[in-house]
Structure 1
Amino acid sequence: MAAQKSALILLPPEDAEEIEVIVTGDVLVRGGLQVLYAGSSTEPVKCAKGARIVPDVALKDVKNKTFDIIIIPGGPGCSKLAECPVIGELLKTQVKSGGLIGAICAGPTVLLAHGIVAERVTCHYTVKDKMTEGGYKYLDDNVVISDRVITSKGPGTAFEFALKIVETLEGPEKTNSLLKPLCLAK
């Protein structure tokens, strides 16, 4: 039996976009992944719209570990992730190990800040210019996979983003098995 795949969802000290954090984490768990939420500490993080999320681990405790995917949610707080050297180290280690990185909404700006390369991305329209000026090719798709990086537009695409991660790590059969229980089947 294959080992359970792992995901690390990065939480800024405050102002993460809770839809992107919660929907992504929930879908990944339903898809069979072990999900950890990491914050600057294990103190609750107040999200952009007021929800509070308690990180499972502090960043310092996972900075030398690798995961099948590391996920960067958007929201105003992702600027703090862009400024954090530990996040940069974590992402660069992830790239070297061949793992995936996911970034949604303004999350791709964290990739830009830490020099993580992806030929093509999508992101929230408010950071599109920043990404293209930084050398990324913007695609107006809900989800884009490029160079082991999965990006998505924002809160309204969180389910599609999470399902694409499950499909990439666990296969289309697993993803298809989630659609009906999530009321996303056509």
Structure 2
Amino acid sequence: MSTQKKAIVFLADGAEEMEFTISVDVLRRAKINVTVVGVSLKNDYATCSRGVKIIPDVKLERNTFKAEDYDALIVPGGAGGAKTLAEHETIQKLVMEFYEKKKIIAFVCAGTLVAKAAGVPHKHKVTSYPAGVREQLVNVYNYSEDRVVVDENVITSRGPGTTFLFALTIVENLIDVETSNTLRKEMLTHENL
């Protein structure tokens, strides 16, 4: 493998803990350099949807991020976190910068609403959490009920229960299928995914 891959994972208050943590954990197990970027946090930590508190590596407001410095951008769900990210102008611009440079942009659960808010073209096939999110996307995108959908450089997934498959799919697309399969076996997920 050549140079180490780098990814940004956004973290806002109200993020879904499992979607955030599983994504970061699996990517780091794959030796991807993950930077957790806190966005519009009320404290030095994010209070997630179930009350779990997570400290980001850096805060968006104190740093500048450019797509050419990274290989992927990941947006976890959680209604509160997704709303904050979808309404944030800098996040919208970064999503489109990554998209236009053909970098991986990945959204899980309500996070897919961030793709819509950023202006990711409506030609793409996507999925999301069914209740409350699906109806906001079904008439805009080519909507799928699949657990994980890959369409060019856009990866989307449904919710907490599909996050291992979502993260492993990112690894497969960012590194290779062998790395993804090795992680599946190591984490004992290969039997039920």
Q: TM-score range by the shorter chain?
A: over 0.9
The offset of 1:123, in angstroms, is: 0.4
Aligned-pair identity (%): 37
- 2-structure distance, mates of 1:185, 1:64: 35
Task: Return the letter of the residue paired with 1:2.
Answer: S
Counterpart of 2:27 in 1: which secondary structure?
helix
- Structure 2: 5+ residue stretches without partners: none
Cα distance in 2, alignment partners of residues 99 and 151 from structure 1: 14
- Indicate whether 1:128 and 2:130 are aligned: no
Residue 5 of structure 2 contacts residue 71 of structure 2 at CA under 8 Å; is this kept in 1?
A: yes
Q: Name the residue aligned to 2:176.
A: 171
Structure 2: how far apart are the matches of 1:104 and 1:32?
21
State the shift of 1:65 in Å: 4.4
The count of aligned residue pairs is 184
* 1:36-75 to 2 correspondences below 5 Å: 36-40=35-39, 43-60=44-61, 61-66=63-68, 67-75=70-78
SS of match in other structure, 1:49: coil
Distance 2:188 2:100 in 1: 37
Correspondent of 2:186 among 178, 181, 186? 181
Quote the offset at 1:137 in angstroms: 1.0
Contact 2:150 2:156 in 1 (8 A): yes
Change (3 A) 1:147 1:180: closer
- Under a length normalisation based on structure 1, what TM-score does the superposition of the two structures give? 0.94
Any runs of at least 4 consecutive aligned residues in structure 1 with deviations exceeding 6 A, and if so which?
none
**Would the aligned equivalents of 1:63 and 1:89 in 2 still touch at CA under 8 Å?**
no
Superposed CA deviations along residues 19-58 of structure 1, whole A, max 9, x for unmatched, are 0000010000111201111012681000000111111111
Unmatched runs of 5 consecutive residues or more in structure 1: none
Structure 2 CA distance for aligned equivalents of residues 151 and 115 of structure 1: 15
d(CA) in 2 for partners of 1:65 and 1:144? 22
- C-alpha RMSD of matched pairs (Å): 1.4
Instruction: Tell me the equivalent position of 2:112.
Output: 108
- In structure 1, the partner of 2:147 is 142
Q: Is the 8 A contact 2:67 2:103 kept in 1?
A: no
User: Which residue number corresponds to residue 4 of structure 2?
Assistant: 4
Whole-Å Cα distance in 2 between the matches of residues 95 and 163 of structure 1? Answer: 20
Q: Does 1:29 align with 2:32?
A: no
1:151 is paired with a residue whose SS is strand
Question: Contact conserved, 1:63 with 1:86, CA < 8 A, in 2?
Answer: no
Per the alignment, in what secondary structure is the counterpart of residue 29 of structure 1?
A: helix
TM-score (norm 2): 0.90
Distance in 2 between residues matched to 1:179 and 1:122, nearest whole Å: 22
Match of 1:151 among 156, 175, 182: 156
